[in-house]
Amino acid sequence: MRTGEKIDLPALEAELSKIKGIGGKRLEEIMVVIEKFFEE
């Protein structure tokens, strides 16, 4: 990813939710980590 690019977090979350074995709670935890990463 190049600096300055935007990530569509809702779209990312939707794609991650399609992965077998990732339920709602786990998906929330993953999204928190991703959001913290992009805040830095």
Answer yes or no: is 1 within a domain: no
| The pLDDT value given to residue 11 | 94
Mean pLDDT of 19-40: 92
Structural domain of 20: 9-39
The answer to whether residue 40 scores a pLDDT higher than 80 is no
Answer yes or no: is 21 within a domain: yes
Mean pLDDT of 14-20: 96
Q: What is the pTM of this model?
A: 0.75
Answer yes or no: is 31 within a domain: yes
Output the six-digit token pair for 1: 């990813």
Answer yes or no: is 30 within a domain: yes
Q: Considering its fold, how many domains does the chain have in total? A: 1
| The pLDDT value given to residue 4 | 64
Answer yes or no: is 27 within a domain: yes
